[in-house]
């Protein structure tokens, strides 16, 4: 019987459960067995007039059979359909030749223990045959014990399982899951048989193509599918520039500074104020801001100094304690507060997080227009200088969110003015002056509820100062509101009006923020009133996060390459090993080398040396250096992946050409690096 054909030309088809007619053998029917065998060793066309011999005993009469094949009485060809669950359909089972039961069962070499003993089936039981009664072709090196997720799978089912064949996978799933759509990338293990299939999905994981970058959007549109720009491999120039400038600012020092060398455990002070004018209007004392490095943890902090402050009550300094517990993204986290005489006076120092290159809201939006909060009356006609409403709402939502936390901790921000809010990145602001007045005005402190109400009014004024900078928002808020009315939405005007006005009595009917109808004026009510804007701001934040993740993913692969390059750098042409051919080990040590070969001229290291030339030192036909980033990235990625692709490495004297695969090179790197690591004594000696 032709079942053995599963091991020959039809094996692949059989493995995939595909049976395709092959008319090629038709004319040579006498000597050719049927190739239309299905996975069950049975020709599906046999009853439909298949031209081939289905048994060697029929071979001699094959010619007669073939002559009668096609005539008007021939039954039409109807391909058999596998049952929806992947098992053989009842129709097919019913048409299997009874002789099939005597067929020699194909036994793949690697599958021994799980191959069931062949059994005979009576003719009338043929309709009960099902997939698990027969063996499919199983690749020889395939280890059925690797099959996971089918704790109840029988050995015969395991034999017919091909993990890379979706149909096979589906057919192996429990019957209730057959109709379900299988998502091979889903990590959801609780539904649709996922629990069974992904229980230990690592067993079947195909080798990841680490050398193949998969760039995430946004993409340039005028490139062909295979083309990449160098920018596709790195974060955007704008973001890199921003981060590098921030890093540079963080590390900046003033070598010939007249500032104290050390304040407590903070050193390397650098002033951050952009002007030298002492301004006592905010805190009652001139305040200065410095960046300094902590010798305790090495991090950089911002020090706000209140010049000339004298502590009269020891308890006052403790008022900062609850502020240390405020954890919110829209405030500069407060770490410590103390007094010092290092500046030659008595100063109060507040330690907060440092955000490099930040500017205050005042500097960002108001200073360049010549305005100052609570300041003059310049005309402000240029509409293009208007802060977009979406930006304003972004600020409002951030401030409201931090106020919720502050008020929830029974504190009040007290300082909600543009010069005490820093913009740390696009659209991100943080409060900087909080907590100070709790210390400086400790003895004259007012009820917190009053201060919290004042926070809301101050927030309203802050918005007004941003949207109508040429009006004095303290003395004449109505004019500023009129300006707001002309240029911004009704919603913003309602919010500002609500913030500026005192809480209405409970009987007041409707109000913009709803809560006012109940006579409540607090930050929670305000947040409810601006819920729609919060959702919009949240969505914008999600988009910004997506963009950052996309940028981050580009750099993800580069970390791998740096590690690889580092290893290559460690290995290639080490001068200290030139006479020994390897790390120094004392005689008797298992790794002791008695040869005098040079380290980089022997073994795998020689390939690696030539590989380095191949990657970095190629020259074109005219001897000019090839400086091609794409070539370097491609080579290093293939090396990291251990690809089977081969490359020709040419010796420096051009007398030898070696063909090696990336896989061999990778193995060489691992081996050489391991050897180096073990020879730490020798390298340490050199250093």
Ligand X SMILES: Nc1ncnc2c1ncn2[C@@H]1O[C@H](COP(=O)(O)OP(=O)(O)OP(=O)(O)O)[C@@H](O)[C@H]1O
- Piece in contact with ligand X (CB under 6 A), picked from 137-145, 273-281, 342-350, 387-395: 273-281
Is 304 within any annotated ligand binding site?
yes
Nearer to ligand X, 171 or 330 (CB): 330
- Bridge partner list, 331: 431
Q: How far is CA 216 from the centre of its chain?
A: 10
Nearer to ligand X, 158 or 429 (CB): 429
Within 8 A by CB and 6+ apart from 339, the residues are: 309, 311, 317, 346, 347, 348, 349
What's the CA gap between 266 and 295, in Å, rounded?
6
DSSP secondary structure code for residue 86 in this structure: S
Q: Does 420 bind ligand X (CB under 6 A)?
A: yes
Instruction: Choose which of 274, 321, 369, 651 interacts with ligand X (CB under 6 A).
Output: 274
What's the CA gap between 447 and 496, in Å, rounded?
24
What's the CA gap between 498 and 4, in Å, rounded?
86
Helix axes 448-467, 490-500, angle to 10 degrees: 150
Q: Does 365 bind ligand X (CB under 6 A)?
A: no
Instruction: Choose which of 61, 63, 279, 369 interacts with ligand X (CB under 6 A).
Output: 279
Is 420 within any annotated ligand binding site?
yes
Within 8 A by CB and 6+ apart from 300, the residues are: 250, 291, 292, 293, 294, 354, 356
What's the CA gap between 452 and 19, in Å, rounded?
79
Is 356 within any annotated ligand binding site?
yes
By CB under 6 A, what part of segment 11-50 binds ligand X?
A: none
Q: Does 364 bind ligand X (CB under 6 A)?
A: no
Smallest distance, ligand X to C-beta of residue 350, A: 10
Is 345 within any annotated ligand binding site?
no
Return the residue matching tokens 């959007």: 217
Is 644 within any annotated ligand binding site?
no
Q: Does 272 bind ligand X (CB under 6 A)?
A: yes
Is 610 within any annotated ligand binding site?
no
Nearer to ligand X, 273 or 601 (CB): 273
- Piece in contact with ligand X (CB under 6 A), picked from 160-168, 201-209, 271-279, 621-629: 271-279
- Quick one: which H or E segment has residue 64? helix 62-67
Q: Does 282 bind ligand X (CB under 6 A)?
A: yes
Smallest distance, ligand X to C-beta of residue 428, A: 13
Q: How many CA atoms lie within 13 A of 267 on its CB side?
A: 7
Smallest distance, ligand X to C-beta of residue 365, A: 13
Q: Does 499 bind ligand X (CB under 6 A)?
A: no
For residues 136 and 17, is the Cβ–Cβ distance under 8 A?
yes
Smallest distance, ligand X to C-beta of residue 258, A: 18
Q: Does 248 bind ligand X (CB under 6 A)?
A: no
Smallest distance, ligand X to C-beta of residue 346, A: 19
Is 44 within any annotated ligand binding site?
no
Instruction: Choose which of 66, 419, 437, 458 interacts with ligand X (CB under 6 A).
Output: 419
Smallest distance, ligand X to C-beta of residue 360, A: 5
Pairing of the two strands 300-306 and 287-294:
antiparallel
643: exposed, middle or buried (Cβ count in 10 Å: 0-12, 13-18, 19+): buried
Is 358 within any annotated ligand binding site?
yes
- Quick one: which H or E segment has residue 360? strand 359-360
Q: Does 373 bind ligand X (CB under 6 A)?
A: no
For residues 353 and 335, is the Cβ–Cβ distance under 8 A?
yes
Smallest distance, ligand X to C-beta of residue 432, A: 4
- Piece in contact with ligand X (CB under 6 A), picked from 36-44, 268-276, 481-489, 600-608: 268-276
Closest CA to 369 of 388, 389, 383: 383
Q: How many H helices and E strands in the chain? A: 21, 11
Instruction: Choose which of 248, 273, 539, 628 interacts with ligand X (CB under 6 A).
Output: 273
By CB under 6 A, what part of segment 304-363 binds ligand X?
A: 332, 352-355, 358-360, 362-363
Smallest distance, ligand X to C-beta of residue 273, A: 5
DSSP secondary structure code for residue 173 in this structure: S
Instruction: Choose which of 2, 39, 87, 289 interacts with ligand X (CB under 6 A).
Output: 289
Smallest distance, ligand X to C-beta of residue 356, A: 7
- Piece in contact with ligand X (CB under 6 A), picked from 86-94, 192-200, 260-268, 414-422: 414-422
Q: Does 371 bind ligand X (CB under 6 A)?
A: no
**For residue 616, which phi and psi values (nearest 5 degrees)?**
-110, -25
Q: Which long-range contacts (CB under 8 A, 24 or more apart) does 362-368 make?
A: 362/417, 362/418, 362/419, 363/274, 363/419, 364/423, 365/418, 365/466, 365/469, 366/418, 366/465, 366/466, 366/469
Lookup: tokens for 391: 């930006």
Task: Please report, in angstroms and rounded to a whole number, the separation of the first and last CA atoms in the chain.
Answer: 74
Is 341 within any annotated ligand binding site?
no
Nearer to ligand X, 172 or 351 (CB): 351
Nearer to ligand X, 264 or 363 (CB): 363
Which residues here bind ligand X, judged by CB under 6 A?
A: 272-274, 279, 282, 287, 289, 302, 332, 352-355, 358-360, 362-363, 419-420, 422, 432
Which residues are known binding-site members for ATP?
304, 353-360, 419-420
Which residues are known binding-site members?
304, 353-360, 419-420
């Amino acid at each position: 019987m032709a079942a053995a054909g599963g091991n020959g030309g039809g094996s692949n088809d059989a493995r995939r459960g595909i049976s395709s007619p092959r008319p090629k053998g038709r004319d040579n029917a006498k000597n050719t067995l049927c190739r239309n065998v299905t996975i069950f060793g049975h020709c599906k066309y046999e009853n439909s007039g298949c031209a081939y011999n289905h048994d060697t005993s029929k071979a001699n009469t094959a010619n007669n059979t073939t002559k009668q094949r096609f005539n008007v009485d021939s039954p039409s060809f109807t391909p058999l359909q596998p049952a929806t669950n992947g098992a053989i359909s009842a129709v097919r089972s019913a048409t299997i030749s009874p002789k099939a039961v005597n067929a020699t069962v194909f036994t793949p070499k690697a599958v021994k223990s799980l191959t069931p003993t062949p059994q005979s089936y009576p003719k009338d039981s043929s309709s009960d045959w099902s997939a698990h009664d027969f063996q499919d072709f199983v690749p020889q090196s395939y280890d059925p014990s690797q099959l996971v997720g089918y704790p109840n799978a029988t050995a015969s089912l395991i034999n017919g399982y091909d993990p890379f064949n979706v149909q096979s996978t589906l057919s192996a799933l429990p019957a209730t899951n057959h109709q379900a759509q299988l998502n091979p990338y889903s990590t959801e293990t609780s539904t649709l048989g996922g629990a069974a299939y992904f229980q230990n999905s690592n067993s079947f994981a195909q080798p990841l193509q680490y050398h193949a970058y998969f760039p995430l959007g946004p993409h340039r549109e005028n490139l062909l599918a295979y083309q990449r720009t160098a920018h596709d491999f790195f974060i955007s120039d704008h973001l890199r520039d921003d981060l590098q400038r921030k890093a540079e600012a963080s590390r900046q020092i003033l070598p010939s500074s007249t500032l104290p060398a050390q304040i407590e455990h903070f050193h390397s002070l650098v002033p951050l104020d952009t002007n030298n004018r002492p301004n006592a209007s905010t805190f009652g004392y001139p305040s200065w801001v410095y960046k300094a490095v902590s010798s305790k943890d090495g991090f950089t902090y911002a020090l706000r100094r209140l010049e000339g402050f004298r502590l009269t009550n020891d308890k006052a300094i403790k008022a900062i304690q609850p502020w240390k517990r405020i954890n919110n993204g829209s405030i500069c986290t407060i770490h410590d507060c103390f007094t010092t005489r290092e500046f030659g006076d008595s100063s109060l120092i507040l330690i907060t997080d440092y955000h490099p290159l930040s500017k205050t809201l005042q500097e960002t939006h108001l200073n360049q227009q010549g305005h100052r909060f609570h300041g003059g009356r310049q005309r402000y006609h240029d509409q293009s200088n208007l802060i977009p409403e979406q930006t304003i709402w972004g600020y409002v939502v951030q401030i409201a969110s931090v106020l919720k936390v502050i008020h929830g901790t029974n504190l009040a921000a007290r300082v909600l003015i543009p010069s005490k809010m820093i913009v740390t990145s696009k659209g991100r602001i943080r409060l900087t002056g909080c907590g100070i007045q709790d210390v400086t005005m400790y003895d004259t402190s007012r009820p917190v509820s009053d201060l919290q109400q004042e926070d809301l009014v101050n927030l309203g004024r802050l918005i007004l100062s941003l949207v109508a900078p040429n009006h004095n928002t303290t003395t004449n808020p109505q004019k500023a509101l009129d300006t707001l009315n002309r240029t911004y939405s009704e919603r913003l005007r309602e919010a500002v009006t609500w913030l500026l006005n005192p809480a209405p009595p409970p009987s007041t009917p409707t109000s913009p923020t709803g809560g006012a109808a109940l006579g409540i004026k607090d930050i929670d009510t305000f947040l409810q009133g601006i819920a729609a804007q919060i959702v919009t701001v949240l969505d914008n934040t999600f988009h910004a996060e997506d963009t950052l993740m996309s940028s981050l993913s580009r750099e993800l692969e580069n970390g791998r390459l740096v590690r690889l390059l580092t290893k290559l750098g460690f290995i290639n042409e080490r001068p200290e090993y030139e006479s020994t051919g390897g790390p120094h080990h004392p005689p008797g040590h298992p790794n002791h080398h008695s040869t005098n070969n040079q380290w980089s001229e022997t073994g795998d290291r020689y390939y690696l040396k030539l590989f380095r030339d191949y990657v970095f030192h190629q020259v074109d036909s005219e001897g000019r250096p090839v400086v091609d980033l794409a070539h370097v990235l491609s080579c290093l990625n293939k090396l990291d992946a251990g690809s089977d692709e081969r490359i020709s490495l040419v010796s420096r004297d051009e007398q030898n050409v070696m063909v090696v695969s990336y896989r061999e090179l990778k193995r060489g790197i691992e081996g050489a690096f391991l050897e180096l690591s073990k020879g730490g004594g020798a390298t340490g000696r050199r250093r």
